[in-house]
Amino acid sequence: MKKITQTIFFTLITLTPVVEIVNASYVHNNILLGNIGQAFKLLLIVLAFILIRKKEKAFYVVVLAVGILFTLIHYILLPEKTNNMLIIDLILFLKISYLFPVTFALVTASQRVIIWATSIAWGMILCNILLGVLGLGNSQYALGYGFKGFFYSGNEMALTFIVVTAILLYELLKSKRIAIAIIFCLVSLIVGILQGMKTLLIGLPLVTIIIPVIHYYPELLALNRLPTKRQMVQIILTLFIGLVTISFVLVRFVSPQFFVRFGEIYQRSGLVGAVLSGRNAYLKSGLDIYVHEYSVGQRIFGAGSQLLNQLNTSTHIVTPRTVEMDPIDMLFSLGALAIFYYMFWIILLRNMLRAGTVTGYFSAFINILLLVLSIITGHVVYSAFLATYWAMANSRYFKEAYQIKPKVIFAGSTAIPGGIAVYMTDTASHAKGNINITVVSTHKNGNIAQVILSFITGAITIGILLVASLLNGQKIVLHLHMATRGSFFRKLLIIYIFSWFSDATVLHIHGATSVEFFTKLLSKPLFPSLVKIMFIMTDTILVVSKTMLHELQACFSMYHIEAFSPKWNVLNNAIPLPSPLVTRKPLAADKPLRLLYVGRFVRAKNILLLIQIAASLKKVFVNFSLTLVGDGPERKHIEAAILSYGVADAVTITGAIPHEKIEAQYKKNDLLLLPSHYESFGIVVLEAYTYGLPAITSNVGGLNDIVIDGKTGYRYNPNDLEGFVSKIAELHKSPKVFNTLRKNAQAFVLQFDYPEHIKQLQKIYASLNL
């Protein structure tokens, strides 16, 4: 179906100049009022919308929604109105927005389609200008020059001729057909100058000079080095020959009537007026009406085409007319929307120049030229005919930009040191050069107002990054890191709002209590449907362990959600490994066994069991010490338990330690204890392995994946006090077994190094078929 749509779309694009001529004949004869041309452009918009990608569809829907809203508001603000005015303004906005979908639809077009379509347009415009010279068709001015043949608008035809000439010249130079390119330039210049309009007299000479410079000397445009002497000679010689040729053609072929008209305007309005063809007078009159007669609402939302066409009614300008300077006309008719339009245009220009490629410079030149001409001559923004070929020039830049590595937005909480926050920053740091990751915080600690503000700030940042990705043509992956409770609802909102605007959305579940959370959540009305929609809008789900994967899928299957789940992947967490790994001295039987806990002081971590273990070890006369690294709401209870069990001489609480300083604790201790009621993964276990600490943990969650019983440590039920105590006592008496565990742990952890993790992440992104 898509291939058929592409074929129809590309065929119709090729026929655009034919439709323009047919439409012009109807307009000149007052038949159908040009509805053929409007219907044709509307059909192209529909076909383009079908062809463009999900995020481009979403952006275009937003553009249309905002445009329709502005149009409705300024229609309501009109003192006198008819339904016809509303329809005219809606059609006008569609013409302005036409460039957007057509540009992205043409990204899929082959070079052959672009060349074929622009060649037909160039040939038909050329023929119509020559027909005008021969006295056939129509002229733009009453003085008998400005030949436009059978086209309706001479300005639109001239602007389009400039763009298609630039595209074809660029393609000829790329294919190294220099002789044909020179002949092509001369023919285009002569015929364009015969046409006699200021637009072509400005645009075509610039095209014939600048395009070769872009093609042959792109590195000079980057301003990163000075040209060599040979290059300077070549550039000066090229410019000299070009200017001499252009001057000769101008003197020989330009219509005398052009100089007559230029002189009249010069005498009346000066040099600026002559360059602007008297538009400075229109601007002055229009601004006077805009300032004194437009309401505040009309200045914000625009006044529509009716008031715009009545701007100039001074003694010098008898016929009501527009300013014919696109930025001003758009400001008057569309209000603030015009400012956003030109702001995005300028940002796009900057991105094209920053790309630093020949294609980027070529597209930027076309846009700069059209931007200047939109001020000097007008009729750029409102011309759907011109926009068809303008889109072809822009599509080359976007097609090249699509080949750049996708950008990834890591969005998650930075409220709690460690956990998701550390994973995001560490992964982004280690991925440099392989994956372009930007970290965005969506949650920080504070009062309710601060929490809401941090989420809004994060959401706005994500929105800006998504818009930026559209303007620079870069594909973007929205990678959301989710825990439980508030984190779930924040990610739900982000997915509902922003997944439409990304190329792919990845949901990464980290929460240690995720299974328990979803079990409770899905038992409530409405939430199963919300989660189903969330999964439908997500391209893939990542979990940190196989155990977590099986438990979550079992939980979701109870509510018939598994059929709606996208592809699931297990992506174990990673840690930065020192190179080489720390070498530890063998444990001696006569030395105390130094036990370590690292983590938050919360009930889920089951720290009270550690105090009970310490008390039991004292009873069996094991020589040991226990260090508790961390802090949290349960600290007071833990301190009270230490005193109650009488182990204050063996247990030390360090409090929270910055992540980068925990290394010292790993180096001076021997065995990690982690009796949590649940762990999604257990990153502290891998950190402990790195420094040669085996682990005795509970047999829950992701710990089952990383604690290999009897090889890297041991696992017990979270409440099995006897099991923990007996194994610790046994290891203290068996240093040989302990030292084997230590070696196994350091060997096992190598697979969790960041380089391997980044490779897995790249494979996951590659599977998204961006």
Q: What is d(CA 520, CA 101) in angstroms, rounded to the nearest whole number?
A: 44
DSSP per position, 13-43 = HHTHHHHHHHHHHHHHTTSGGGHHHHHHHHH
The DSSP H or E segment spanning 477 is strand 476-482
The residues, ordered by sequence, that sit 6+ positions from 182 with a Cβ below 8 Å of its Cβ are: none
Cβ distance 302 to 335 under 8 Å?
yes
Band of the pLDDT at 396, cuts 50, 70, 90? very high
The DSSP H or E segment spanning 439 is strand 436-443
Stronger pLDDT, 684 or 312, i.e. the higher one: 684
Band of the pLDDT at 769, cuts 50, 70, 90? confident
Could you tell me where the beta strands, DSSP code E, fall in 12-168? 138-139, 147-149
Name which of 727, 488, 710, 533 is nearest 624 in CA terms. 727
User: What is the pLDDT, as a whole number, of residue 158?
Assistant: 87
Residues of the chain with pLDDT > 90: what percent?
A: 46
Stronger pLDDT, 648 or 186, i.e. the higher one: 648
Measure the N-to-C terminal CA separation of the chain; round to a whole number of Å.
20
- Looking at the DSSP assignment, which residues form a beta bridge with residue 597? 628
Count the alpha carbons within 13 Å of 11 in the hemisphere toward its beta carbon: 6
Residue 94 CA: distances (Å) to CA of 42, 71, 102, 316, 413: 8, 11, 12, 33, 41
Two tokens, residue 378? 């007008």
Stronger pLDDT, 558 or 58, i.e. the higher one: 58
Q: What radius of gyration do the chain's Cα atoms show?
A: 35
Band of the pLDDT at 255, cuts 50, 70, 90? low
User: What is the pLDDT, as a whole number, of residue 145?
Assistant: 53
Q: What is 593-752's CATH topology?
A: Rossmann fold (3.40.50)
- Looking at the DSSP assignment, which residues form a beta bridge with residue 409? 438, 478
Give the mean pLDDT of 344-350.
Answer: 92
Two tokens, residue 113? 């389609």
Give the mean pLDDT of 21-41.
Answer: 72
Band of the pLDDT at 626, cuts 50, 70, 90? very high
User: What is the pLDDT, as a whole number, of residue 309?
Assistant: 59
Q: What is d(CA 671, CA 699) in angstroms, rounded to the nearest whole number?
A: 17
Residue 244 CA: distances (Å) to CA of 165, 185, 205, 236: 20, 14, 11, 12
CA-CA-CA-CA torsion sign (46, 51, 52, 58): positive
Per domain, the residue ranges of the chain are: 2-401, 407-570, 593-752
Q: What is d(CA 224, CA 720) in angstroms, rounded to the nearest whole number?
A: 68
User: What is the pLDDT, as a whole number, of residue 231?
Assistant: 62
**Does the pLDDT of residue 433 top 90, yes or no?**
no
pTM of the model: 0.82
Single-letter code of the amino acid located at 635: R
Query: pLDDT of 730-745, one tens digit each?
Result: 998 888 999 999 999 9
Q: What is d(CA 163, CA 183) in angstroms, rounded to the nearest whole number?
A: 18
Name which of 617, 568, 619 is nearest 732 in CA terms. 617
Band of the pLDDT at 317, cuts 50, 70, 90? very low
User: What is the pLDDT, as a whole number, of residue 319?
Assistant: 47
User: What is the pLDDT, as a whole number, of residue 154?
Assistant: 77
Q: What is d(CA 310, CA 131) in angstroms, rounded to the nearest whole number?
A: 35
Give the mean pLDDT of 34-59.
Answer: 90
Name which of 59, 97, 79 is nearest 338 in CA terms. 97
Query: pLDDT of 120-149, one tens digit each?
Result: 999 999 888 888 777 776 666 555 555 677
The DSSP H or E segment spanning 706 is helix 703-706
User: What is the pLDDT, as a whole number, of residue 215?
Assistant: 86
Are both 407-570 and 593-752 of the same fold?
Answer: yes
Query: pLDDT of 563-622, one tens digit each?
Result: 667 788 999 988 888 878 888 888 777 788 999 999 999 998 999 999 999 999 998 877
Query: pLDDT of 57-81, one tens digit each?
Result: 999 999 999 999 988 888 887 776 6
Give the mean pLDDT of 496-500.
Answer: 94
Q: What is the mean pLDDT of the chain?
A: 85
Please report where in the chains the tokens 């809606």 appear, as a residue: 90
User: What is the pLDDT, as a whole number, of residue 318?
Assistant: 44
Pairing outcome for strands 624-629 and 593-598: parallel
Pairing outcome for strands 147-149 and 138-139: antiparallel
Place domain 407-570 in its CATH homologous superfamily.
Answer: Glycogen Phosphorylase B; (3.40.50.2000)
Residue 657 CA: distances (Å) to CA of 230, 629, 654, 669: 63, 7, 8, 15
Residues of the chain with pLDDT > 70: what percent?
A: 85
Band of the pLDDT at 424, cuts 50, 70, 90? very high
Give the mean pLDDT of 625-643.
Answer: 94
Stronger pLDDT, 168 or 213, i.e. the higher one: 168
User: What is the pLDDT, as a whole number, of residue 314?
Assistant: 45
CB atoms under 10 Å from CB of 590, counted, come to 6
Cβ distance 708 to 748 under 8 Å?
yes
Cβ distance 63 to 100 under 8 Å?
yes
Q: What is d(CA 134, CA 195) in angstroms, rounded to the nearest whole number?
A: 11
Two tokens, residue 638? 């833990």
Give the mean pLDDT of 518-540.
Answer: 91
User: What is the pLDDT, as a whole number, of residue 650?
Assistant: 93
**Does the pLDDT of residue 265 top 60, yes or no?**
no
Cβ distance 253 to 241 under 8 Å?
no
